[in-house]
Structure 1
Amino acid sequence: MTWDASLRQLTLICLLLALPGADAAGLTPKETLGKLLFFDAQLSLKGNQSCASCHVPEAGWSGANSAINAHGAVYEGSVAGRFGNRRPPSAAYATPSPVLHFAQEKSETLFIGGNFWNGRATGEKLGNPAADQAQQPFLNPLEQGLADGACVVLRACTAYGSLLEQVWTGTCAIAWPGKAAQTCAAEGGKLALNRQQRANADRAFDRIALSIAAFEASAEVNAYTSKFDYFLAGRVELSPEETLGLELFKGKGRCAECHVADKGPNGEPPLFTDFTYDNLGVPRNPENPWYAMPASVNPGGKTWLDQGLGEFLAGRADYRRFAGDNVGKQKVPTLRNVD
């Protein structure tokens, strides 16, 4: 590890210890590693965007800029002027989502689980939708912008090699080519690795994602410390207005049909989502910066409509037959920490 990398790791650890809940959460080594990776802006093309840039703890683990949230709602990527097409969902309470699957409910086929608004982080790769999700922003040119998962591994091993070795033995045992750092710093840069070293890098990238998912599953992220949690535990009472709101939520408002407010079968705290997908008919947002992206990125231009789950299913031979019935559907979000 170089002196610069050692100093960066020490600085990150000090900053993380200053974050709310850093001491109280009692993180495991894997969760600690995941936290370091989650907050490290160097794991992006320009060294300026971390997972936490769009998933801020103080803002319910989602975007923290109120002006952006009130207008375009989409956050800029590592490369200036590049935007995706959807607002970042909360990273909190995402880990209980199961691997994407479907079930028949009367005459309807319901898709359940996965992560991202359109379910494309299925969990089929790593057995964990949150881990599948963690890999994709690193390699999205509109987000963190690196072109090669091996570049994420190189930077992570440079900064956190000892901790990676503690958590995942042998993860950083990769023979890097000359000028690997310079290659990764260039847009589109991909490392020339032989078959064995590529397999080692792919395995390491998977372990990085699993570490991030472990942090996202920790009590620091999924705290279950709302007033409602304390109410369910019998520690506080709801106000008359809150009691009426809960009655409406579960009753006439029918909110709880999708945002389930009851405990799980084993007494788990309610997640306020059933992990399914719905199309509520929300109109397009003309302030979405995606509409201003060039045709090379957004071929639909001003006519683009978010096809949601349906578009993802259409690209899957095994799910294509369900695509038409799922056009425009987005994942039911948790209402925990809603902003």
Structure 2
Amino acid sequence: MKYPFLGWTGQTIGVTAPSSGLSEQQQEWVERAVEQVQARQMNVRLGETIWSHQHAESAPAKQRAEELNRMMTDETIDAVIPPFGGERAIDLLPELTLATYQTKWLLGYSDISTLLLSLTLQTGIATAHGPNFVELRSEEWDETTSAWRRVLATPTGGTVTQWASDRYQSKWTDEERPAGSLFQLTEATEWKALDERTEVTGRILGGCLETIRHLIGTPYGDVQRFQREEINGEPILWYFEVSEANSAEVHRTLRQMAYAGWFNHAAGFLFGRTSARITEDLTWLNVYQYLADETGLPVLYDLDIGHQPPQVTLINGATGTVRIQGKDSRIDLTFN
């Protein structure tokens, strides 16, 4: 594995839109995020793709890919953080010049995880699943969200710890938020285990289930090669977050992943909180139990991952140990 490193001050963040761009009403989000990032002693370089959006994409695929390629090879840019996810990141995969990429962080979630997972699987460069750029626009960053800086500043060989949040946001609304805060953290957080197995260790890998599932059976999703050649056959600790897919869709996708061999040598599964709907009486606990029964592996769920913020920053390729222990639940990431 190859781990990027992002220092604490004077670093330059590149912002490009490999999936969705910003509507006119959303453009101020980036401007506010720039202000907050600069206030924390980092510089920002904005790409052209972020300012447009049509046909569920920020720009034509070649233009999106060229801008991402430039930022990932530019020595003056230290990390790349897209504004947010979207729908069509998968278009870029054949256009990415991965062999030229520097070892630098690419951070994001939702549709961005399509690129994160594929980049790590193909190159062995670690990628970061965590806040998108527009989620950095508030004056105050909660402890869970702000951990991305600690995580991305962890040196190779080091270990970084993140704890479960105290509270989370159950849904996105336009209601007034506390002064200086982006999220409405109103619900009590509780990381849970499906059975008595409350601790699991493995090589972290995963993303937004609705988007990364389209890598199955393609050259961009060769899990077996990655496991064999990049992590010496170590078991994978899979993490998934679900935005909108219903419980039946998720069940089918997990089966497809299993049939494709993605879970052949796994350590367990981590699921983020979700507000997506269930199908008939197929509950999320049913889905998790079917997966546990089929694989015999531990399942931990309702973690701080994904579309119900705040979320921890997970590193594709790092060794992760998750412990469920009430309010002291934690994840330790080791960059080995």
Task: With the length of structure 2 as denominator, give the TM-score of the two structures.
Answer: 0.27
Larger Rg: 1
Higher helix share: 1
Task: With the length of structure 1 as denominator, give the TM-score of the two structures.
Answer: 0.27
